[in-house]
Amino acid sequence: MRQITSAASALFAATISEKVTVADIVNRAGVSRALFYRHYSSVDEVFQSVVDLVAQDFVDRLRLETTDDQDAELVRVLHDFLYTCQEVRLPARALLRNSRLPGTDDSVVSMVFLRAEQEIYRRVGIGEPTRLARLTVRSWLTCIEVQTLAWLDGGDQDETIDELASRLTATLRALIRVTLPTEDEGMLALTRILG
């Protein structure tokens, strides 16, 4: 089964899942169709299996610790996320590149980032985010998604994990600052991240 998921990871990282066939996977894995179908019923099921592990690892790393230095904690969480992406590069690229779960409108990445969004609100004490706070945080999470995929696709990864994590944290600070001043309670709560 590991041969199949490893082969599928490499294929999904190179292209969208809809273009990958069972024949592609079994050829790359060097296994028979019978073995494939013993473990999986479809390419969609393999894709789900590949990204579930990566997605769960991301979610497990998202919880922000209680600290007075929100900025440093945000950098730490981003560092952990990027380190995981680097360590499991092929499945991470598959997760980021394939924007939708096969047969649904749900994005695995969106589910991971929804958890991240909820964690940010929890940490700054926002029960129900305002529209402006939600748009700001979601813009930042989309920025992380796009920039992480570009970083993984870059091959040589000229930018270090520390540099990228610091830059992404600075991006959130900039998004918050450009939206202020405002009387929006959600945005005022988000300023706690600024320290």
What is the longest distance spanned by two Cα atoms in the chain?
A: 63
Long-range contacts of 23-30 (CB under 8 A, 24+ apart): 29/3, 29/4, 30/3
Q: Which two tokens stand for residue 111?
A: 């589910």
* Residue 27 falls inside a structural domain: no
Residue 143 DSSP code: H
* Residue 141 falls inside a structural domain: yes
pTM, two decimals, is 0.71
* Full residue range of the structural domain in which residue 151 is found: 50-194
pLDDT of residue 53: 67
Whose tokens are 């047969």? That residue is 103
* Residue 165 falls inside a structural domain: yes
Query: Which among 7, 15, 8, 82 is positioned nearest to 48, based on CA atoms?
Result: 8
pLDDT of residue 64: 56
* Residue 161 falls inside a structural domain: yes
pLDDT of residue 102: 45
Distance CA 128, CA 116 (A): 15
CATH of the domain at 147: 1.10.357.10
Query: Which among 72, 143, 151, 160 is positioned nearest to 109, based on CA atoms?
Result: 143
* Residue 3 falls inside a structural domain: no
Q: What is the pLDDT along the chain (195 residues), one digit of tens a residue?
A: 788 988 887 887 777 778 899 999 999 999 999 999 999 999 989 888 877 766 776 777 666 566 667 677 777 778 888 887 777 676 677 677 765 444 444 566 667 778 888 888 887 788 888 999 999 998 998 888 888 888 888 755 678 888 998 899 899 889 988 887 777 888 888 887 776
Whose tokens are 């959600």? That residue is 186
Q: CA–CA distance from 114 to each of 26, 67, 162 (Å)?
A: 34, 22, 24
* Residue 45 falls inside a structural domain: no
Distance CA 79, CA 95 (A): 18
